[in-house]
């Protein structure tokens, strides 16, 4: 009988052959997270990509995250299992509209969320993630007006936390977090009265007001795992359930479905599968390719962010 490898074994073999690292965002399917060398939020994965000294970065996340990896470590091959793993925030913020807005407000410091295209990063003064957005805005002199791109909910959260009045905020939104309804969260709280609420800052302000903790994907996981409470309502993409159950098997976690569907999954993140990852490692495609000049301009605001925290 001919021995057949499982897809997971093939991936591990290919990873060794190609001198690849597998970076997986915490919203990826459990079977992908289990094979990853590193799982994390967008900031942790960017830092890991920056210092990797092998040949191939297999990025299981969405395209803007892989672009960031390429910009920070341009001599590596960066692949993504599915080239259509996009992001509604990226789509909400085209670079030509950003350039036009900058012409209207030339004195504004442009702070862009990492969920933007490389072309928008190249137009930015500094990048932030959900983990460090408050610290990044606080690092900018108080008298400087800010243009914050592109997430309206994260922007309003940062504005409130920093007490910053002079912040102009783009009108983009995440199709997953922006469609969490306070009404459904309230129903979950009634059903689970002892549960604490942990939310991602891309959620609407009325959801954030009902939250006990607000933070990035891995900050939410760390908070729930280390908190003395044992029951939580988690207002982010349900992929984090894998880490939560693994790290705190005795605790209970509840997820609230989005307004438009009965799940809280990001359709872009979920485009990546084990089969597509195996094929990408075989062919080294789809591959992130960006013009050198664009990468150079986009790198500076990312490096400014990494220097802050």
Residues lying near ligand SF4 in the complex (CB under 6 A) are found at 62, 87-89, 115, 174-176, 202, 237, 266, 268-269
Q: How far is the CB of 138 from ligand 13P (least distance, A)?
A: 18
> In whole angstroms, how close is the CB of 304 to ligand SF4 at the nearest point?
22
Neighbours of 283 (CB within 10 A): 10
Angle CA 168–43–79, to nearest 5: 110
**Closest CB 219 distance from ligand 13P, rounded Å:** 7
Buried/exposed 85-124: b ≥16 CB within 10 Å, e otherwise:
bbbbbbebbebeebeebeeeeeebbbbbbbbbbbbbbbbb
Question: 14 or 23, CB closer to ligand SF4?
Answer: 23
| SS3 call for 248 | coil
Which of residues 10 and 272 has its CB atom nearest to ligand 13P in the complex? 272
Closest approach of ligand SF4 to the CB of residue 168, in Å: 21
238 binds ligand 13P (CB under 6 A): no
- Name the 3-class secondary structure at 152: helix
Pairing mode, strands 146-149 and 20-25: unpaired
Three-state secondary structure string covering 180-196: CCHHHHHHHHHHCCCCE
Residues 177-236 that bind ligand 13P (CB under 6 A): 200, 202, 216-217
Binding partner at 123 among ligand SF4, ligand 13P, none, C-beta below 5 to 8 Å by kind: none
State the binding partner of 268 from ligand 13P, ligand SF4, none, CB within 5 to 8 A by kind. ligand SF4
Q: Which is nearer to ligand 13P, 48 or 200 (CB)?
A: 200
The phi and psi torsions of 58 (rounded to 5 degrees) equal -95, 105
Residue 6, phi then psi, degrees to nearest 5: -75, 165
Helix, strand or coil for residue 111? strand
| Segment 37 to 66, residues that bind ligand 13P, using CB under 6 A | 41-43
Cβ closer to ligand SF4: 14 or 62? 62
Residues in contact with ligand 13P by the rule CB under 6 A: 41-43, 115, 129-131, 174, 200, 202, 216-217
């Amino acid at each position: 009988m001919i021995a057949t490898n499982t897809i997971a074994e093939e991936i591990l073999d290919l990873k060794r052959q190609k001198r690849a690292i597998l970076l997986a965002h915490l919203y990826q399917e459990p079977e992908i997270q289990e094979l990853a060398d590193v799982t994390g939020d967008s900031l942790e994965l960017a830092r890991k990509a920056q210092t990797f000294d092998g040949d191939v970065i297999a990025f299981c996340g969405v395209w803007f995250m892989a672009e960031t990896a390429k910009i920070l470590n341009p001599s590596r091959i960066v692949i993504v299992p599915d080239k259509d793993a996009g992001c509604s925030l990226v789509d909400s913020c085209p670079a030509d509209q950003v350039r036009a807005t900058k012409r209207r407000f030339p004195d504004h410091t442009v702070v862009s969320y990492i969920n933007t295209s490389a072309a928008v990063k190249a137009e930015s003064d500094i990048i932030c993630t959900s983990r460090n957005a408050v610290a990044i805005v606080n690092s900018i002199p108080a008298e400087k007006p800010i243009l914050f791109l592109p997430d309206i909910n994260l922007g309003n959260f940062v504005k409130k936390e920093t007490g910053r009045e002079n912040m102009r905020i783009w009108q983009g939104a995440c199709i997953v977090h922006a469609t969490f309804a306070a009404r459904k969260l309230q129903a979950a709280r009634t059903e689970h009265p002892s549960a604490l609420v942990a939310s991602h800052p891309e959620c609407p302000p009325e959801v954030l007001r009902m939250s006990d903790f607000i933070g990035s994907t891995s900050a939410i996981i760390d908070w729930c795992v280390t908190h003395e409470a044992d029951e939580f309502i988690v207002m982010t993409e349900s992929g984090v359930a894998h880490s939560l159950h693994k790290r705190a098997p005795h605790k209970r976690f509840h997820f609230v479905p989005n307004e438009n569907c009965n799940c809280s999954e990001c359709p872009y993140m979920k485009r990546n599968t084990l089969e597509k990852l195996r094929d990408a490692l075989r062919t080294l495609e789809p591959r992130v390719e960006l013009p050198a000049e664009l990468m150079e301009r986009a790198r500076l605001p990312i490096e400014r962010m990494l220097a802050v925290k």
